[in-house]
Amino acid sequence: MNNTLTIRSHDELIAYVPHLLGFQRIESSMVCLAIGGGPTARLDLPDSPEAMRQFLDQMSDVYLHRHPTRRVALIAFGEDGRACIEALSALGETLVDSDRGPDVGPMLWVNGEEWFDVLDGTSGTVDPATRVRMAAEFALLGRAMPAATREDLAAAMQGDPTAVAEQLPAAEARVLDMDAAALHAEVGWLGTRLDQFRSDREYLSDVDAARVLAVIHDSGARNAAEMRMTRENAPVYSEFWHDLVRRAPDAVRDTPAAMLALSSYLEGKGAQAWVALDQISEARPPLADLLATALEQAIDPREWERALQPEAPGSLMQQAALRDRTAPERRTHDQHDHNTHGVEGPESSTPGR
């Protein structure tokens, strides 16, 4: 069943954005929300003519070419009114002037609790009661409350790996000694343990956590974990991988972080997916590159699910090979397709914590 929130006012739209992105303090950012279905994006406000050109090219690519939509709402967050209004005006004109461009509006500059609508000149202050009501609506949908900042999302992925580290050498030695049949059985155990977590939501013991970390580097184990994840169960698996990322020693943290990025992407938490990718070392697993492509190109998670079917072509792998942006450029923005029905959303799947 799909549950939605209907947004009826500027106050509600502004109060909705932190829940959509996953963090509350949004500064020097442009948030673009497709109305009528399509991707939502957050980008840093441009601070130079060259940055403005890149900003407009990125948004044109998303909303005019990859995901045409009938209408887009633009919200610029920041203290610098001139920078916010310039970015709003430039992006609005770029989208509207295209023959296949969407209608644009509202176009809001938000500074703290105050807002100004660039299109009609109205202004106001966000009613605190609206934020409380929006938080209550999300709680009823089983959604976790947003972190204060993006940095808090990253801090929540840091934990104490000491206990698991003590168990890891024995677990790794055990996997190294396995023949093909034993490794196949171990992959089967991993799948059973993931299925069990979906049912009981009980986190791994230190011994089992080390056991997962020792085998997850095997391609068969990774495939077993990836193939289990869907948009529906992604919130539950996000709990599993988030816990493992917090407890994993640095040397074996990359793969669970990539799994957390995948589950976050599938449940529509683009900011958390980017932060999870930021936890990965320079030796990035292939999944991380695929997810970066999916996020930066606003690929619908449903397309990811279809690509996992045996008969599906390797379109995501092809897109990863053709990526034309560097890692620093990717990390200046967060994109995630939330299947927002206009400014009606979000869809509700499995309750999260």
User: For residue range 295-333, what is the model confidence (pLDDT) as tens digits?
Assistant: 777 677 877 777 765 444 344 444 444 444 433 344 344
pLDDT bucket at 348, cuts 50 / 70 / 90: very low
Q: What is the pLDDT of residue 190?
A: 96
- DSSP H/E element including 74: strand 71-77
44/141 same-domain check: yes
Tally of helices (H runs) and strands (E runs) in the chain? 16, 7
pLDDT bucket at 3, cuts 50 / 70 / 90: low
Tell me, yes or no, whether 211 lies in a domain: yes
Tell me, yes or no, whether 349 lies in a domain: no
238/129 same-domain check: no
d(CA 209, CA 190): 10
| 274: amino acid identity, one letter | W
229/286 same-domain check: yes
Tell me, yes or no, whether 352 lies in a domain: no
Tell me, yes or no, whether 5 lies in a domain: no
Pair type for strands 103-111 and 71-77: parallel
Go through 258-277 and write b for each residue having 16 or more CB atoms within 10 A of its CB, e for each that does not.
Answer: bbbbbbbbbbbbbbbbbbbb
Tell me, yes or no, whether 327 lies in a domain: no
Q: What is the pLDDT of residue 5?
A: 63
Q: What is the pLDDT of residue 143?
A: 65
Asked whether 261 and 241 are in contact (CB, 8 A), the reply is no
Q: Which two tokens stand for residue 103?
A: 């209608």
CA neighbor of 216 nearest in space, from 273, 167, 246, 258: 258
Q: Which residue has the higher pLDDT, 329 or 280?
A: 280
Q: Give the residue numbers spanning the domain of 77.
A: 10-146
pLDDT bucket at 351, cuts 50 / 70 / 90: very low
pLDDT in tens, 94-131: 998 877 788 888 999 999 999 999 998 999 999 888 88
Angle between helices 49-60 and 81-97 (to 10 degrees): 40
60/136 same-domain check: yes
Please give the average per-residue pLDDT across 181-186, as a whole number.
95
d(CA 151, CA 97): 37
Asked whether 154 and 275 are in contact (CB, 8 A), the reply is yes
Measured over the CA atoms of residue 228, residue 232, residue 236 and residue 240, the dihedral's sign is positive
pLDDT bucket at 163, cuts 50 / 70 / 90: very high
pLDDT bucket at 33, cuts 50 / 70 / 90: confident
d(CA 335, CA 51): 17
Pair type for strands 40-44 and 71-77: unpaired
Q: Is the pLDDT of residue 353 over 60?
A: no
Q: What is the pLDDT of residue 141?
A: 65
Count of the separate structural domains present in the chain: 2
Tell me, yes or no, whether 343 lies in a domain: no
Q: Which has the minimum average pLDDT: 123-127, 171-175, 191-195, 298-302?
A: 298-302
Round the average pLDDT of the chain to a whole number and report it: 81
Tell me, yes or no, whether 339 lies in a domain: no
Q: Is the peptide bond before 106 cis (omega within 30 degrees of 0)?
A: yes
Which of 146, 179, 194 is the endpoint of a domain? 146
Q: Is the pLDDT of residue 24 over 90?
A: no
pLDDT in tens, 4-23: 567 788 998 998 888 877 77
200/299 same-domain check: yes
Instruction: Report DSSP state, residue 250.
Output: G
183/278 same-domain check: yes
CA neighbor of 265 nearest in space, from 274, 257, 256: 274
Q: What is the pLDDT of residue 148?
A: 61
Tell me, yes or no, whether 174 lies in a domain: yes
276/161 same-domain check: yes
| 18: amino acid identity, one letter | P
133/21 same-domain check: yes
pLDDT in tens, 42-97: 888 998 999 999 999 888 888 888 778 888 899 999 999 999 999 999 999 999 88
Q: Which has the minimum average pLDDT: 146-150, 236-240, 288-292?
A: 146-150
192/84 same-domain check: no
Q: Which has the minimum average pLDDT: 59-73, 165-179, 181-195?
A: 59-73
97/208 same-domain check: no
CA neighbor of 201 nearest in space, from 226, 227, 237: 237
pLDDT bucket at 144, cuts 50 / 70 / 90: low
127/251 same-domain check: no
182/67 same-domain check: no
